[in-house]
Amino acid sequence: MPTFQIAHTARERERVEQSRRAREREAAEQQKKLADKWAEAVGGCSGQARRYDHQFQAFVPISGRVEMLGTAQARYAFSKCMADGGFPIQ
């Protein structure tokens, strides 16, 4: 294979690799933004649920699914708030 073609192929591989890394960075940034919005929603909706039950708690164990402790009315208010915010939990 002529030297020119080898160099061209190496440059092309490098461009493809740079593009792949850029896509991975962008995907990671988008995932982080979504996680931040979700955490913000959990905090805000917990506050709304505490209007009905001042001891209401929402937490996320390692499974990643929201767990709630509180009255049925507070759990409903939390679930509705999350759904209204675009994060349904059921």
What digits encode the pLDDT tens for the residues 4-41? 566 568 788 888 888 889 899 999 999 989 888 888 99
Classify residue 85 by its DSSP letter.
T
The predicted structure's pLDDT at residue 6? 60
Can you tell me the distance from the alpha carbon of 47 to that of 38, in angstroms, rounded to the nearest whole number? 14
> Which pLDDT band, with edges at 50, 70 and 90, does 61 fall under?
confident
Q: What is the pLDDT of residue 70?
A: 96
Query: Cα(37)–Cα(28) distance, rounded to whole angstroms?
Result: 14
Q: What is the pTM of this model?
A: 0.71
What number of CA atoms fall less than 13 Å from residue 17's CA on the CB side? 6
End-to-end CA distance of the chain: 59
Output the pLDDT for position 4: 53
The more confidently predicted of residues 62 and 4 is: 62
The whole-number pLDDT of residue 85 equals 93
